[in-house]
Structure 1
Amino acid sequence: MALLQRLGPLLGLAALSAVLGTLSDRFLTLDNLINVFRQSSVNALLSLGQLVVIITAGIDLSAGSILGLSCVVAALLLKWGVPPAVSLMGALALGSALGATNGVLLTKLRLPHPFIPTLGMMNVARGLALVISGGFPISELPSGFRFWGAGSLAGVPVPVIIVALSCGLFHVFLTRTTAGRDVYAIGGNALAARLSGVPVDARLILVYALSGLMAGTGAIVLAGRMNSGFPLAGVGAELDAIAAVIIGGASFFGGVGTVGGTLLGALIMGVLRNGLNLMNVNAYWQTIVIGGVIVVAVWVDAVRKRAAERRAK
């Protein structure tokens, strides 16, 4: 069962790719596969942030809105003539600060569930993005900014490189650091972790800050791809990220999840969307299909949880 859980995302990706390759002769072309990786990059970045949150048995509903606000702020700073490096750091700092705010509200107000502060932040961040931009995209950015979303290094898309580096850092964090081990301990049993000396509040603030940081990183990639700051960017993106994490083998109940599985989950979501587009499936039906995938992923997670409880008895 454990082996199947680890290999499940990889087998699922292989099976889905085989089916789509049969249904569309364009799917397995090199150009399309590169396009899949590029288009999956933003979801992969958001998914890494959701991963560390979900491992603690939490959830971050504000990630998509933080991405949208960070897009607008980065674009506005560039429009004002602020150096690109400073503008990018501003987007990252903003995302981290808003994420940390979620963690502070959750821990210091002793709220019963992260649904409450992150839902509030979702609306605040989206509202700020619309107010600051006036509801219109901030465009005509410096041409060099497209490098972060549409550029390549040695033939490898820059967004893919950013995802690879981020995956490496998150893997090291979760498997090689005390803080990473604490994250798993909190998800396993927060009370026991607290009693054993784990600084639970500090770790929760950290994981929500990391989620915000990855939303800011995704904003840079997305704004670079569009060469504009779109205030409605990232609407619903948090749901795709959550689905990718669960498909990748993590659990809503906490204590479980890996970077590799999450990356595979994000690729499964990207491959599915790409395949539906190649087959000219109506956008409304695509939404229904993706929603169905999320429901199935949650159901599988619940089944895994019940099976684990039966084995523990």
Structure 2
Amino acid sequence: MMEQLKAKKTGKKLGEYGIFLVLIAMFILFSFIAPNFFDINNIFNVARQVCTLGICAVGMTIVLITGGIDLSLGFQISLANVVCAWLMVNGGLNPILAVVITILMTTGIGILNGIIIVKSHVAPLIVTLAMLNILNGLSFMVSKGLPIFGFDKSFSVPGQGSIAGIPISLLIMIAIFIVGAIILKKTYFGRYFYAIGSNEEAAKLSGINTGKLKIFAYGLCAFLTSIGALLMLSRTNSGLSSNGDGFEFNVITACVLGGVSASGGKGTIFGALVGVLIVGFLENGLLLMNVNEYTQLVIQGIMMLAAVVYDTLSREKNERIKKIKAINVNNQV
């Protein structure tokens, strides 16, 4: 009996840390087959590139845990990019004021998503897909399809600068991951998010205001998305309406690869971080090997599909186990 219990515990640990082992294995493999992959400059370059992905993944993790999804995230980035750039270049605003306006605007979009989803009871997939198209059109209307550049050099410091050799954007991402982990693990908000994603009706019956919390989750996701978008703008020094096109796919892939359930109620910030690193270093490794963009999309799609199928099968297995245990308890009674 003791051996069986030990085997179960070992299997659970391997399941929890398996994705981390995948990251290590991938890192070792690319160190041998991808030119200059292990170079410190390349590592810091990837770190800068994944910062927006990582920050957005924290917000998406929270939304996914509640059982929702936000497909408009990519064009939230696009709109934030072009609006902030337009305000600084064409509007002549101070960069700090432009940043504040952009964050408020993007957060408002997330809150609006949440309100529509909660009040209309329409599936988050449909609501955010419609919002995706709206934001896509708005971003092109603001930029007219052209890049907006020429803002103050000081604006590039967060995206391109470093402290003691460590990219500032990486430090911001780490801080946000820590805050995200604290919210999910140490606050009642986090417990309520998991409760809503696991069983919303039960959460309502226990007195949780599920509507307000879901709106809060979408607003928080959009707030973090705005920070990621501004870091992207700071790094590229150019506001372009296509900057966020398809970015939501990378974010969702990273979250799901990291063990965040697409069905809600399951996931950790640590898992999301590992998923972000896998996506970031995978793209970089394939790029160094001169693998074309379309092949990269195929590989990412396969990885996401495999992760979603694994998550679904795991949930079905757990449900069967719960039913069997319930039947056994009733028989014993």
- C-alpha contact 2:253 2:300 (8 A) present in aligned 1: no
2:312 corresponding residue in structure 1: 302
Structure 2 CA distance for aligned equivalents of residues 4 and 202 of structure 1: 36
Alignment match, 1:10: 20
Larger CA Rg, structure 1 vs 2: 2
Q: 2:98 aligns with which of 71, 87, 90?
A: 87
Distance in 2 separating the partners of 1:157 and 1:90: 25
Structure-2 separation of matches of 1:88 and 1:224? 11
Separation in structure 1 between the aligned mates of residue 164 and residue 101 of structure 2, nearest angstrom: 28
Instruction: Say which is worse superposed, 293-302 or 242-251, in terms of deviation.
Output: 293-302
Report the alpha carbon displacement of residue 15 of structure 1 after superposing the two structures with TM. 0.8
Query: What do the CA deviations read for 1:288-311 (whole angstroms, capped 9, x no partner)?
Result: 111111111112212221222232
Once structures 1 and 2 are overlaid, which stretch shifts more, 151-160 or 58-67? 151-160
Of 72, 85, 102, which residue of structure 1 is paired with 2:82?
72
- What 5-or-longer segments of structure 1 have no aligned partner? none
Q: Residue 101 of structure 1 corresponds to which residue in structure 2?
A: 112
Q: Distance in 1 between matches of 2:197 and 2:67?
A: 5
Matched, 1:116 2:126: yes
Match of 2:137 in 1: 127
**Aligned match of 2:331:** none
In structure 1, distance between residues paired with 2:15 and 2:272: 12
Structure 1 position 55 matched with structure 2 position 83: no
Alpha-carbon distance in structure 1 between the residues aligned to 2:257 and 2:125? 20
1:67–1:216 contact (8 Å) kept in structure 2 = yes
- Indicate yes or no: 2:251 matched with 1:241: yes
Aligned to 2:278: 268
Which deviates further from its counterpart, 301-310 or 123-132?
Answer: 301-310
**What amino acid sits opposite 1:63 in the alignment?**
L
- After superposition, give the CA deviation of every residue in 1:59-80 in whole Å (9 maximum; x if it has no partner): 1100001011001111111112
Aligned to 2:205: 195
Q: Deviations over 1:228-254 (max 9, x none)?
A: 111111111111111111111111121
Contact 1:91 1:219 in 2 (8 A): no
Aligned with 1:206 (options 203, 216, 219): 216
2 CA distance for matches of 1:239 and 1:5? 24
Q: Which residue number in structure 1 is paired with residue 232 of structure 2?
A: 222
Asked if structure 1 preserves the Cα contact closer than 8 Å seen for 2:34 and 2:286, the reply is no
Whole-Å separation in 2 of the counterparts to 1:190 and 1:62: 23
Give the letter aligned to residue 96 of structure 2.
A
Measured after TM superposition, the shift of residue 25 of structure 1 is 4.1
* More displaced 10-residue stretch of structure 1: 200-209 or 172-181: 172-181
Aligned-pair RMSD on alpha carbons?
Answer: 1.1
* 1:24 counterpart = 2:51: no
SS in structure 1 at match of 2:142: helix
Give runs of ≥4 in structure 1 deviating > 2 Å: none
Matched, 1:155 2:165: yes
- Judge conservation of contact 2:35–2:288 (CA < 8 Å) in 1: no
